[in-house]
A and B are shown apart, each in its own frame.
Chain A
Amino acid sequence: MPKRRDIEKILIIGSGPIVIGQACEFDYSGTQACKALKEEGYQVVLLNSNPATIMTDPEFADSTYIEPITVEVLEKVIARERPQACLPTLGGQTGLNVAFEAAKRGILDTYKVELIGANREAIARAEDRKLFKLTMEKAGIPLPRSRTVYSLKEAKEALEFVGLPCVVRPAFTLGGTGGGIAYNIEEFKSIVKRGIDASLIGEVLIEEYLEGWKEFELEVMRDKKDNVVIICSIENFDPMGIHTGDSITVAPAQTLTDIEYQRMRIYAIRAIRAIGVETGGSNIQFAINPKDGRIVIIEMNPRVSRSSALASKATGFPIAKIAAKLAIGLTVDEIPNDITKETPASFEPTIDYCVVKIPRFTFEKFPKADPTLNTSMKSVGEIMAIGRTFKEALLKGIRALEIGKYGLEPMIDKEKLPLAEVIEKVKQNLIVPNAKRIFYIADAFRLGFKVEEIEKLTHIDKWFLNNIKELVDFEEKLKKEKKLTLPTLRKAKELGFSDIYLGKVLQISPEKIRRLREKEKIFAVYKLVDTCAGEFEAYTPYYYSTYECECEARVSQRKKVMILGGGPNRIGQGIEFDYCCVHAAFALREEGIEVIMVNCNPETVSTDYDTSDKLYFEPITLEDVLNIVRKESPWGVILQFGGQTPLNLALGLEKEKVNILGTKAKYIDIGEDRDKFRSLLLKLGLKQPESGIAKSLEEAKKIAFQIGFPVLVRPSYVLGGRAMEIVYDLETLEGFVKEALEYSINQTILIDKFLEDAIEVDVDLIGDGENFVIGGILEHIEEAGIHSGDSAMCLPPFSLSKEIIDKIREASYALARELNIVGLMNLQLAVKNRSIFILEVNPRASRTVPFVSKAIGVPLAKLAAKVMIGNTLKQLGFTKEIVPPYRCVKESVFPFNRFLGVDIILGPEMKSTGEVMGIDFDFGRAYLKSQLGASQNLPKGGNVFISVRDKDKKGIIPVAKR
């Protein structure tokens, strides 16, 4: 079918700020969609409030609105742009909900905007639990026993039919907010109440709890001619009851016979037809009873999702891109498969490797949150690992997580506790699903648990468990043999063991193992992700490593630069860094350099095979990176853009004589090492809050008394303010110092005088080693002491005097000059009593780079990448700071609704997951927009209740009067 000619302009709605359950996967899908539609000759209008996205870069749409994603704003955008169609299925639940609401209110009809992909009826059928059930029943698809209710009274009646334990699922929410499993009537009542509140339409579903059932997902695509194909099957390692976003998942499905898989496939095809998703992708979840094979459908997302991003990366089939093309009327047989070129997109990918996704949690940021995993999603990021076996992929995945584990490391020391206690602890951690369960499973095998016992406690399929057992058995054998023979080393590498973990097990250094491997030529080889298991020639260089006989990497003789990505999203290191990596890739490609991207985060644009010349989907560890360096011999490696992850490899890479581009490692070290940094400030005559450096608790106490409380305690070399605290007394000091020492790499902590009532400022700067230009000066709205990642900020400053701003400029340039900045630098400082105090300097891309770039209209990360390969700022035409005539406000969004019982007070430890941007000529309006974008609905009138501590009462009076 030819593409539609009755449409010229299409509106795409993004997903807004990064929150738990809705992360940068929607930037990936949105960016693909924008590109695909423009490629087909359509005008694209984009609405998204998140500045840290690639899709909101000016070149991806014809007009981009960085505005709050609300129905009101949507209407204004539509009225102004008059698009003929709106594609709502690529912006996650946020985009879908807003489009649905606009359709319901008749706005789309008024302006004659057609919903393409999924229309209002289809969205309702998939999202409204009752309608969904009805539709599935009609289509002959089995469902769990359930009933929809709108009140507690109805819920209690439903319980008689469904029985306890049961699941409560609110309709129209994101990532399962407000839902839960009820085991008794008290829990039941409270969850139902919460669920009714959380639901946009006050509706919840009471459903049979499929405890211990296996969970599967299928990614399905349909076109206008009703052709339906399955892109990928996913089997959850964790059983039903754990949100799929929090589950370890595996592609393809591992434990289904062909008949069972085909049945599920047919149900999925029937479901997408019955729901009426006209074109595009859907994610459909199923549960199977492992005892008798009974299959039921759980839910369906009539849009691209986190799983479809995963499926795209897992198979090489770009779901969002194809979905966009199907939405404008093309059919699957008319679209070529990018990877094989000669075959069409009308096929089902088949893979010849195993993919494991592991979620990344940050419970350490929320010590009071309940770390039990359930139907409400709690993870903040994920990694994907590809291996030729499940075992290899799993071990790669564990080290990709960056949680300080390089294998199935023991959680408990058998020697330290009585055996009975050890067994009890392990059992508890098997029964209660938690982020570390995979490690406890390995411990259980070490303690002699049988596969069947663990299966009973965890409901995890014994196929997965036995694979873990094989890894543990091998490790135990290795320990007993105590020496590393060549065949054993080869076997270990084939199984997926890292050098570090092998070293730990055998008590030898990883370097030694590396040298041995080099001597014996045990090298990683690279295989292609090609959608077709090798049946056709593939043209897209998307690789993963394994230890086998044939290497397929096509190494060119071009000048190559390798960019290390940021790994899994976490609080403190998220989409902003991926944004910078992507920009670096675009910039270097423009310069004719071959770009090699290394990353393991499936949600990102950086791991789209389109972004770079070559993609290595690998963990960012020294071993994995050096393996690629050995194969590719790049001219240089860029560490500056991926956040702390690549920077942590700087020393190791330098030792191996890898050419690190940008600011030299010794200057990076000055910025990171508090001692060296203090000397530098002294030299420049810059002030710093009174401070001291401690390597022990005793030293810390001494310093605290010297400079006086309150003090700020922080470790060296961390990101996102891990273990950073403001301390007001001695007792609290002891606790925090202990923790901070644990998190610091070099066991050094800095104790600062905490500046009360100061204004904090961030500066982003770019330099070419000789010339330096400020990208932006951002004034924090919250006072100093709140982590800069959590604070709202305004560019340009709204309350600072010219004199202060000039002082800030001077200090920034002086520091940049001293540190010989080549690339980006971020400076944090505080203003108190007309003096400025330098807080810290980071010689790398910061979280605020995308925001600043959007605010001033200059792609800083791109320029920085070009500078790093030898261009000067003069050549690039960026020689003068740009101060925009309007105000840009960045506001953070927080995951507190996910972590019940967690203190919502902000501090020096970062807690936010994402950000939004509000732009206006007036500061107040810009701030209001940022609040709306962050879903903080401010009332237009009413009374104000103000409560402050005594100390602040004087300060609040003028504010209250206004």
Chain B
Amino acid sequence: MKNTLKNVFHSPRFLVGFIIFMCILLTVLIYPYFVHRDPLQGLGKGFLAPGTYVSVYDTNNTGTYRVELPEANDNRLEASVPVKDRQTMLDFLKAKGTDITGLDTSNEHFHELIEVWRANYDEADAKKNKYEGFATQAKRNELRRLNNRLSSDVNAAMTVTKGEGDDATTAAVATSDYVKVDEVANALTLPLGTDNFGRDTLTELVKATGISLLVGLLAGSIATFIGLAVGLLAGYVGGVVDDVLMFIANIFTVIPGFVLLILIYSALGAESRSITTCAVIIGITSWVWTARSVRSQVISLRNRDHVNLSKLSGHSLIRIVATDILPYIMSYVVMAFILQVSSGILAEAQLSMLGLGPNPNELPTLGLMMNWAKLFGAYTSSNAWWAYFPVILVIALISFSLNLMNTGLDQVFNPTLRD
């Protein structure tokens, strides 16, 4: 046993797969100790891009530090009107026939550009005259939004007023005033942003990965258990038992598993779709090929000498199967189990993607996350890669690691593949 394990861990493929899988598993187990948030709790408003969000209110109640950053002014100009927008301004002025000599998109000429723009842009005028290249509603809207954002003096004096009425106090905010982010009472880092419901995607993803692993494990165990039992019985007993069991297995083989899964699932109705039923149904529809291969291996084993000896010694069926047959196919069963787990996770994701997943209000799953991302146009209109790409990556990594472990094991146990 020790030797086998040693062999297994010497296989580089198995090792890499195992490490990836353990990393995912450990993250799932450890993460909740650091972040106690309910994964389904809506924090934001729709899709928020990844980043750190700092409360504007609280920054005004935090001590300020003086920092003189030489490029502060340039940064401010760049953030207020990016070069792309300055080019749009120039294009518009050109289309209108304004003299733009000496104007460009640089920071030096920024103020001049804004002055010329102020003198020449007028919403009603743009609407009426439909200048070339700016005739469409979309373009004119863009100009208007740009105009609303413009401020010629990005270093304009700013004050913060606290309180109301006579108690109000006003404090000036200098351009060199800085706050230390970790001193702000409320700052939230969202490494993967939020989904369409404003839920923290990372927290949800970790929880969903855990659930999906659980579904996969449960589905894989059920499938392997049924497959093993049927395969052993059919292979070892043979005769009528074999015929009957293989007849059932054949029926399951000819019906496409996924179609069967969808049919059972939609017949069940949404109210009974819990995580457990999901796993059970995936399990009972995917045991067939395990059963068939176990059976064929058992058939080749059942006439070996040691099995015959056991029979002559009057050992019971269960004992023969458990001690003389099972150990010989155990390595195969473990490999099959790993693949079953992997396909169980994928099956759940596929089902949820089709909107047939477990009840979405209870717990997140990887498939459900994909489903909502799809429904809310995360990869079309909403432009929110963080809502679906990490999910795809996790599914791919789980599946990849499990398959890698499987091939690694195959290398160790399959004599024909041994170097």
Q: Does chain A bind chain B?
A: no
A: residues with CB less than 8 A from B are none
Q: Which B residues are within 8 Å of any A CB, using their own CB?
A: none
